[in-house]
Each structure stands twice: as C-alpha cells, then as structure tokens.
Amino acid sequence: MQAEKLKGHLDLLLLSVLSRGPGHGYEVITRLKVGSDGAFELPEGTVYPALHRMEDAGLRASSWEVVAGRRRRIYHLTAEVQRLDDAGARGLRRPGPRRDDGRHGVSRGTADAPGDLIEDYLDRLLVSLSGSPRQVRHTMAEVEAHLRDAVAEGVAAGLPEETAQARALERIGPVHAVTGRPAVFTRPSAALLRRISLTCALVGGAGFVAIGAAGLIGRLLQALKGNLFMTTPFPPGTYTQADCARWLAGNRGTRSCVTAMLADHAFDYLLQATACGLLGLLGLAAYLFLRHRWRDRATATALPAGTAEGRGAILAGLAAVVFFGQVADLETVQHGVGVGEPLSLGIAAAVTAVVFTLALYRRVRAARLRAA
C-alpha cells in the first residue's frame, strides 16, 4: 500500500484494533499484524506517531498501568468514540493480497552506537525529546517497554541478543520517527550544550597551555640563539626616537636601539605566552570541575566518543603545519631571523596534536572494548 494511502487509512485501522479492547503499543501493532495475516506489519515509527495524532484529535486516550510487573501505557478509545456504532471504526476486515511496491520493509538503519544498542538509542531519544518532564518520561517509558518486548520476542525466536536489538531498532526507525516530526534543526538540548561546553573547555584549555609551553621553549631558544633568532626587528624608519628611548629605558645594559627593541619584543612574547598558559590552566581546571559535575549518561552520549580529542588533534595539527610553514619561510627569506617564535609555537602545537591523538586512540579503543 502506498505511503499516502496508508496514512489516510491508518487511523481507521488503529481505531478498529482498539475497538476490540485496550492495549499497549506493542500489543496494538501485534493485533494489527495478526488480524491482517501479516499484510499490515507496520514499523513502530509509523504506528506511534499515528497513535499520538489520534490522542491529540480526541479519538483515543491513554493511561499508565502495571502489566507483568512493568509500567505500560495502555491505549483505549475515548468514551465518545466507543459509543459510536461505526463499522469502519470497529470492523476490521481482512485485506486482500498485498502488493509489493518495493517500499514495504525497507530498513531504516540500526543504531550504530557502541554497547547496548537499546540503551544508546534511548540516550539519543532522551536528549532530542521536547515537552514537559512528564511527557518526556512517559514517552521514554513507552518506547523502552516496546523495544524490550521486541527484543524478548526476537531472543525467544532464537536470535542472538545483539541481532534482536538491531531488528527491534530497524522496526521502530530513527529517533525522529518516534515523535512523528521530521529531523530538522531545533534548539540544542541541555545535555548537548553541556557536552559542547566540556569540549570547548578541554580543547581551549589545552590550546592555551600549549602556548604557555611554547613560551618555555622560546625562553630556551632565546638563551641558546639570542633575541635576533626569536624575533624580527622593525625596518629602519618605521619607529621614532621616542620608541628608541622607551626600549633603551627598559634595557639599560645596551646603547643600541635595535638590540633594545629585540629584547623588548622577546620579553613581550614570553610574557604573553605565560599569561596564556595560566589562562589555559584555569580552563582545564574548569573542564575537570564540570566533567565531575556533569557525569550523567545523557551528557556523556550527547556527542560521539572521542569528539573533543578528535577536534583537539585536528586543530593542533593544523596549527603545527601553519607555524612550521612560517619557519620554512623565515629560514628562506630572512635566513633564520625571527624563527624562534613560530618554531616554539610549532613544536608546542605538534606535541599537543600527538597528545590528543593518543587520547583519541585510547578513547576509541575503550569504546570498542565495551562494545565487544
């Protein structure tokens, strides 16, 4: 049956099923399948939005009951609809042979997160749901109960646990199918914002600490090679006598304006690098504090494992390439004058990229071991 035609008749089919008695979501889907000899084996991502749409229209209601030791959302017709003597709402007739147009049974893709597929699917659903806390809780409980039933049915049929989970997720469809809304950009969830904040604190803090480390490397290069290796002097005619007087006042051990200028520039670089290093330590301290505070699973799974480490490795690697490119240019054009600053920054960026890469490898390896 074509999608548009099915959408027009699905409400009547569900009304017909519910006219035979209340039932939870998985039971309603099973009745529809059995009552039609498998002709209407519909994915959950199609049925649940229709049930929610019917409740909004006042055609059916729901309540929470404990069934077999588990809280279930039980669907039933409203009192007004129940009183209607409508054969279209109560008399489900066996449909004719099904025509296979190639659309039925197309896989929607399974969850690709490591570990328990159901738990990871529920995590993604939790951080994407909108509405009141009660609505979110009810939706989560309903979807989880349905998925667990589907998995139990698959295991009872002889499927391995992981295969049964994948089959259940194929049937229910992607996260946005549960809400009945297309996957469009919406306001980020609180968990996603927390995870982004952690990523920025880690990458930013590590970046500023790397600049501080570059200052230490620069100080070593200054001691070995001198100020002319660290920084480039201004061309003659681009500074005034007042500038010379200021530089000489800060370096009374020399009478050369150029020498005093180089010493002043090198000192400024080292001072700024030190300030960045201290700022980076504060950023990393904030990261550790927030990570300890935001230890909930929703925050941990809002972004794929290794996101922060991967971003840090890429950014640090790009910075290293840029700085080493400047070093090559200065060596060629100025014969090594002023190489110290980009060289120290390039070394620090390269070390940071290696550290982030190793952290990424460990994080991905740990995730794969959990999934095994």
The confidence score (pLDDT) of residue 121 equals 80
Closest CA to 9 of 58, 44, 63, 54: 54
Specify whether the CB–CB gap between 266 and 230 falls below 8 A: yes
The confidence score (pLDDT) of residue 268 equals 92
Interhelix angle 3-18/44-56, nearest 10 degrees: 70
The confidence score (pLDDT) of residue 187 equals 55
Q: Which residue has the higher pLDDT, 87 or 335?
A: 335
Predicted confidence band at 282 (pLDDT cuts at 50, 70, 90)?
very high
pLDDT tens for each residue of 208-240: 999 999 999 999 999 999 998 988 888 887 888
List Cβ<8 Å contacts ≥24 apart for 182-189. 186/128, 186/130, 189/127, 189/128, 189/298, 189/302
Average predicted confidence (pLDDT) for the chain: 79
Q: Which residue has the higher pLDDT, 249 or 358?
A: 358
> Residue 271 pLDDT > 80, yes or no?
yes
Closest CA to 49 of 14, 94, 74, 95: 14
The confidence score (pLDDT) of residue 320 equals 96
Please state which of the ranges 47-61, 95-109, 271-285, 336-350 shows the lowest mean pLDDT.
Answer: 95-109
Closest CA to 144 of 38, 234, 66, 72: 72
Question: Domain limits of the chain?
Answer: 1-96, 111-179, 190-371
The confidence score (pLDDT) of residue 84 equals 61
Q: How many CB atoms lie within 10 A of CB 292?
A: 8
pLDDT tens for each residue of 157-184: 888 888 888 888 888 877 776 665 555 4
Q: What is the mean pLDDT of residues 233-252?
A: 84
pLDDT tens for each residue of 64-118: 776 766 677 777 777 776 666 444 444 444 444 433 443 333 333 333 333 478 8
Please state which of the ranges 8-12, 69-73, 228-232, 284-288 shows the lowest mean pLDDT.
Answer: 8-12
The confidence score (pLDDT) of residue 127 equals 67
Return the amino acid letter for 290. Answer: L
Say what percent of the chain tops pLDDT 70: 78
Alpha helices in the chain (DSSP H): 3-18, 25-35, 44-56, 79-83, 87-90, 117-128, 133-156, 161-172, 175-179, 190-225, 227-230, 241-250, 257-293, 297-300, 307-333, 340-371
- As its CATH architecture, domain 1-96 has Orthogonal Bundle (1.10)
Q: Which residue has the higher pLDDT, 366 or 308?
A: 308
The confidence score (pLDDT) of residue 351 equals 97
Please state which of the ranges 58-67, 90-99, 146-155 shows the lowest mean pLDDT.
Answer: 90-99
Please state which of the ranges 84-98, 146-160, 311-325 shows the lowest mean pLDDT.
Answer: 84-98
In angstroms, how far is CA 104 from the centroid of its own chain?
A: 31
Show the tokens assigned to 300: 């941990």
The residue whose two tokens read 């190639």 is 102
The confidence score (pLDDT) of residue 92 equals 40
Return the amino acid letter for 64. Answer: W
Specify whether the CB–CB gap between 343 and 327 falls below 8 A: yes
361 forms beta bridges with none
Q: Which residue has the higher pLDDT, 213 or 368?
A: 213
The whole model's pTM is what? 0.55
Instruction: Kindly give the pairing relationship between strand 70-77 and strand 23-24.
Output: antiparallel
Specify whether the CB–CB gap between 194 and 301 falls below 8 A: no
Show the tokens assigned to 85: 């003597």
Q: What are phi and psi of 92, to 5 degrees?
A: -75, 120
